[in-house]
Each structure stands twice: as C-alpha cells, then as structure tokens.
C-alpha cells in the first residue's frame, strides 16, 4: 500500500462531510492502525465549554470506519458501522485530540477496532470501540 496516496484519498473523502466540518484529518497509517486528529475549540464544545462526547464519538467512528476501508476490496465491498461505544475519561477545553484506531479483529464480515483518543501529552481522553460490517456492493 502506498501510504501517502492512501492518506491523500482518505483526506479527499472528507470534503463536504461531517469530518470536514469537525476538522478531522487522517495523519498516519500503519499495518493494523489508522490515526486522525481533530481540533478542540468552541465548534466541538458542549455548553459548559468542554469537548462534546458526540464530537469525540464522531472522530472515533470516522477513524474506525475509514480504517476498515484500508483492508477491503472497495470495488466489491463497502463498510458500515453497526455498533460504537465510548467511555469518556477526561475532559478537554482546547488544543488537538488524536484518535488511533487499532485492529482487534479482522473477520470476513466484521472488523472490530479499538480507538484511543488522546491529548497532546498522550493522556487518554476517551476509549472507544467500533464494530463494522463488510457487505457486498
């Protein structure tokens, strides 16, 4: 896999989507992981001025779903998220959060990803999990 080309394609897919609205950017691909970042500012805050859990889950789903696309034949199959969960462990007011989706299970019809959302210092903000179904087009 040409990593630079894959990152460029993933970032092109963000155009005119929630990922672009939230400022999510794919930054790193490994053999069994994908990394994305999201700025934390008033556009992703809840009313008390901290990162909204829904924005965090949107980041986690964006990186976990995109990661599955890296492991399938996109000519024949597509990916849909069927379950996501999140444990929010620490609040964040500003800066950048980074989500790393790590592959837990790669089956023929399902993929399971664990997504660690961390701050600039590596502190864990949220731990998420997504299950994706792989279906024929």
User: Active site residue: 25, 61, 75, 83, which one?
Assistant: 61
Cα–Cα distance between 124 and 126 in angstroms, integer? 6
**8 is a catalytic site residue:** no
* DSSP string of the chain, one letter each residue: --HHHHHHHHHHHTTTSHHHHHT-EEEEEETTEEEEEEEESGGGB-TTSSB-HHHHHHHHHHHHHHHHHTTS-TTTEEEEEEEEEEEE-S---SEEEEEEEEEEEE-SSEEEEEEEEE-TT--EEEEEEEEEEEEE-
Catalytic residues, which ones?
61
């Amino acid at each position: 896999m040409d990593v630079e080309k894959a990152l460029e394609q993933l970032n092109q897919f963000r155009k005119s989507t929630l990922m672009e609205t939230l400022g999510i950017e794919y930054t790193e691909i490994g053999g069994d992981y994908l990394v994305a970042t999201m700025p934390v500012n008033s556009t992703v805050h809840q009313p008390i001025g901290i990162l909204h859990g829904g924005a965090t889950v949107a980041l986690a789903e964006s990186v976990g779903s995109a990661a599955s696309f890296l492991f399938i034949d996109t000519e024949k199959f597509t990916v849909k998220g069927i379950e996501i969960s999140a444990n929010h462990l620490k609040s964040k007011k500003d800066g950048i959060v980074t989500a790393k989706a790590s592959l837990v299970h790669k089956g023929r019809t399902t993929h399971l990803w664990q997504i660690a959302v961390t701050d600039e210092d590596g502190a864990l903000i949220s731990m998420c999990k997504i299950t994706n179904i792989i279906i024929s087009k």
